[in-house]
Amino acid sequence: MAEISWPWQYNFPPFFTIQPHSETREKQLEAWQQLIADYLKANKQSTIDIRESLNTPLFNNASINRKLSQDAISSILEDMARKGRAAPIDKSKNVWEIYWHSLDEWGNMVYSWACNNGMNNSVCTLFELREGENTVDEEFHGLDMNILLKALKSLEKKGRCELMEFDDNQGVKFF
């Protein structure tokens, strides 16, 4: 597991209880959202299963004996979804995709890479984008396939690329 820099709130017991005062709650939710994104980014993860993550260091600070409740985690993730930073994967809303960057930001990173590497008007596979030697130093290297597809679909809506399928592969042509 990668090391992250825990924010000061993480060692403040009230941080683990959703606060009733609206301004305080907004700041608390934003701090949790940033912590979740930072934690997942550091660990190269993009999904959270609420049931399994209750006992992870992210939501359980053993040193102060405080743990975030499942309802509190759900509230934070719902707020992230309203802000475009997360989306439930299952109907029961136990498993969530978390976006360390917005889908537009991911799309823009991929598009910038494509432009900088002369990939305009050429096709590359999604495997090449996620796992290829040319993307090893890119932040989107190894990105969850579902998130990559959503980011590329946002680019496609802007007319910057076209998603395509050939044989058993998926690819993208950048414009």
| CATH class given for the domain over 8-98 | mainly alpha
Domain with CATH 1.10.10.10 in the chain: 103-174
CB of 80 closer than 8 Å to CB of 86:
yes
pLDDT at 5: 87
Domain with CATH 1.10.10.570 in the chain: 8-98
Rounded to two decimals, the pTM is 0.81
pLDDT, tens digit (0-9, with 9 covering 90-100), for 75-84: 999 999 999 8
Distance CA 147, CA 121 (A): 23
Instruction: Give CA torsion, residues 95, 158, 101, 14, to 10 deg.
Output: -70
Q: What is the DSSP string of 133-144?
A: GGGTTSTTTT--
End-to-end CA distance of the chain: 38
pLDDT at 2: 60
pLDDT, tens digit (0-9, with 9 covering 90-100), for 20-43: 999 999 999 999 999 999 999 888
Ramachandran region, residue 163 (left: φ > 0; alpha: ψ -120 to 50; beta: rest)? beta
* Interval 67-72 mean pLDDT: 93
Distance CA 37, CA 85 (A): 9
Please count the residues of the chain.
175
Are β-strands 123-125 and 95-98 bridged in parallel, bridged antiparallel, or unpaired?
unpaired
Multiple choice CATH, 103-174, 1.10.3720.10, 1.25.60.10, 1.10.10.10, 2.102.10.10: 1.10.10.10
Distance CA 175, CA 167 (A): 22
